[in-house]
Structure 1
Amino acid sequence: MRYSDASASESSGFSINTRYSFTEKLLINPKMNLNLQTNTNGSGEKRGVVPSCRLIYRLNNNVSLELEARGEWITEEQNGVTDETTTYYLNTGYRAVF
């Protein structure tokens, strides 16, 4: 959880991040972020839902392959105008420990 009260806006958010092992080499890492930002002058607010899921496959103790899918659903209201944005990401890579 986080909260911020700045001069221009108030922000709050909630995050959950978990990790489950299916096998010794395969892990799943689902996450969820919920965000709310409200302008202190009453001109608008921004709401966001950001789920993601990462698959981690350990090749050995030093190298793993990762695949992450993430979506972002953002609704922003400013002075009576509503804007909805939907974005999707797919990332892949590797992690090596030297």
Structure 2
Amino acid sequence: MAEPLPPQVSLRIFREFVGLTLQQVAEAVREQGVPITADGLNNVELGRKPGSEALMLAVARALNIKRLHIRQAADICEWVDAVRHTQGTKAKAA
């Protein structure tokens, strides 16, 4: 019997929730030594092109996502709460 599939969450959903543009994420990924353009990242987000493991790890680091967050809904909720807390802290500091 096949393993059940984990919840599927688009990278775009994570990226937009964090408030980053394609360009910002692409720059953060390139800083980690993985070549990508905003258009290339868009193609991966839309499923037009597969993302390499190196790219996916670099994007996850840029969005502060742990591998576990992609697989378990409870961890996604924990991540969302942490991002909201961080965004609230930044807003108060501004």
For the aligned pair, the TM-score class normalised by the smaller chain equals under 0.3
Q: Which has the larger radius of gyration?
A: 1
Larger relative contact order, structure 1 or 2 (CA cutoff 8 Å, min sep 6): 2
Give me the TM-score of the superposition, normalised by structure 1: 0.19
Which of the pair is proportionally richer in strand?
1
